[in-house]
Amino acid sequence: MAKSVITFLKAKKEGTKLALLTAYDYATAKLVDSCDVDGILVGDSLGMVCLGYENTLPVTMEDMIHHTRAVARGVKNALLIGDMPFMSYQTSLSDAVRNAGRLVQEGRAHAVKLEGGARVLRQVRAIVKAQIPVMGHLGLTPQSVNVFGGFKVQGRNQDVAAQLLDDARRLEDAGVFAMVLECIPEELATRITEAVAVPTIGIGAGAGCDGQILVYHDMLGLYSDVRPKHVKVFAEAGQLIQQGIREYVAQVRNSEFPGKEHSFS
Ligand code: KIV
């Protein structure tokens, strides 16, 4: 049965772990969706792993809709979540609702994700009121990279930890169906997970979360610009791809490819 926000809430109640991945195109979406993941996020991380930007800030609504629509064509089972890019929800409530609506209507997402706690509660409420499920995102929220002074673990000091716990409770109260906890200490993520009734999805937040998410390119060794500590490479697909490409180049150069079987008479 296709997954929905109900699947997520049920998983929390039953203590079943949720497995999510990102995807950014049709072929990848089909691969990921065929492996029984619970959710596929078209993350604004696409700015880094697909478009080659140094952070997620240049990503636009047009980029997100373009990629979300492509992924949607390949997804049959997972819950599809579209990420709201920088400046698509910070500017006003009407921008937030309109842009969330575009990810659903034009991108065919089932839900949207946006970054932040107390400062985005009004946006979360307005989008939820428009009948669009919202996933929260706390901790190392990459759209705040310039405020954090880099991609740094958040919540190591007590004040920030207390703020994150409060943000999580307030996001739950505003109606999110789940929240991502990114790069925060494991103990804090576990406390947040115990404090809220919606599932927490960790990335660099330890094993106490209700589920996990990784960036597709990271967990398959396809993106070598950075390899953060929280990333486990489950298959060195990047090396396998290079091996295939080198073999192709060699076979073209020595006239081994194309053979008769790849040619038309
Ligand atoms: O953009 C993204 O891929 C994300 C995940 C890392 C949670 O926000």
Tell me how far the alpha carbon of residue 173 lies from the centroid of ligand 1, in angstroms: 23
Q: In the numeric block, which tokens belong to residue 70?
A: 């492509």
Q: What is the dihedral of CA 222, 224, 226, 229, to 10 degrees?
A: 70
The share of the chain scoring above pLDDT 70, in percent, equals: 100
Best mutation site among 45, 103, 114, 212 for ligand 1, i.e. most ligand atoms within 8 A of its Cβ? 45
Measured distance CA(100)–CA(238) in Å, rounded: 34
- Asked if 32 and 78 touch (Cβ cutoff 8 Å), the reply is yes
Pick the atom of ligand 1 nearest to 180's CA: 7
Nearest CA to ligand 1 atom 8: 43
Tell me how far the alpha carbon of residue 136 lies from the centroid of ligand 1, in angstroms: 11
Pick the atom of ligand 1 nearest to 43's CA: 1
Closest alpha carbon to 118 in 194, 161, 56, 174? 174
Beta bridge pairs of residue 47: none
Cis peptide before 185 (omega within 30 of 0): no
Measured distance CA(139)–CA(205) in Å, rounded: 9
Give the 3-state secondary structure of residue 116: strand
Measured distance CA(256)–CA(41) in Å, rounded: 41
Nearest CA to ligand 1 atom 5: 43
For 36, phi then psi, to 5°, come to 65, 30
Q: What is the pLDDT of residues 25-57, one digit of tens each?
A: 999 999 999 999 999 999 999 999 999 999 999
Domains of the chain: 5-234 (3.20.20.60), 237-265 (no CATH)
155: Cα separation from own chain's centroid? 21
Tell me how far the alpha carbon of residue 51 lies from the centroid of ligand 1, in angstroms: 15
Give the 3-state secondary structure of residue 182: strand
Q: What is the mean pLDDT of the chain?
A: 97
Catalytic residue IDs: 182
Q: What is the pLDDT of residues 157-205, one digit of tens each?
A: 999 999 999 999 999 999 999 999 999 999 999 999 999 999 999 999 9
Q: In the numeric block, which tokens belong to residue 188?
A: 């804090």
Pick the atom of ligand 1 nearest to 182's CA: 7
3-state percent breakdown (helix, strand, coil) of the chain, nearest 5: 45, 15, 40
Tell me which residues have their CB closer than 6 angstroms to ligand 1: 22, 41, 43-45, 83, 180, 182, 203, 213, 215
Measured distance CA(56)–CA(33) in Å, rounded: 24
Tell me how far the alpha carbon of residue 214 lies from the centroid of ligand 1, in angstroms: 8
Best mutation site among 71, 182, 216 for ligand 1, i.e. most ligand atoms within 8 A of its Cβ? 182
pLDDT of the residue at 227: 82
Q: What is the pLDDT of residues 52-88, one digit of tens each?
A: 999 999 999 999 999 999 999 999 999 999 999 999 9
Measured distance CA(141)–CA(152) in Å, rounded: 10
Closest alpha carbon to 22 in 3, 5, 42? 42
Instruction: Grade residue 104 by pLDDT with cuts at 50, 70 and 90.
Output: very high
Pick the atom of ligand 1 nearest to 41's CA: 3
Residue 1, pLDDT > 90, answer no
Other CB atoms within a 10 A radius of the CB of residue 119 amount to 11
Residue 225, pLDDT > 90, answer no
Q: What is the pLDDT of residues 120-154, one digit of tens each?
A: 999 999 999 999 999 999 999 999 999 999 999 99
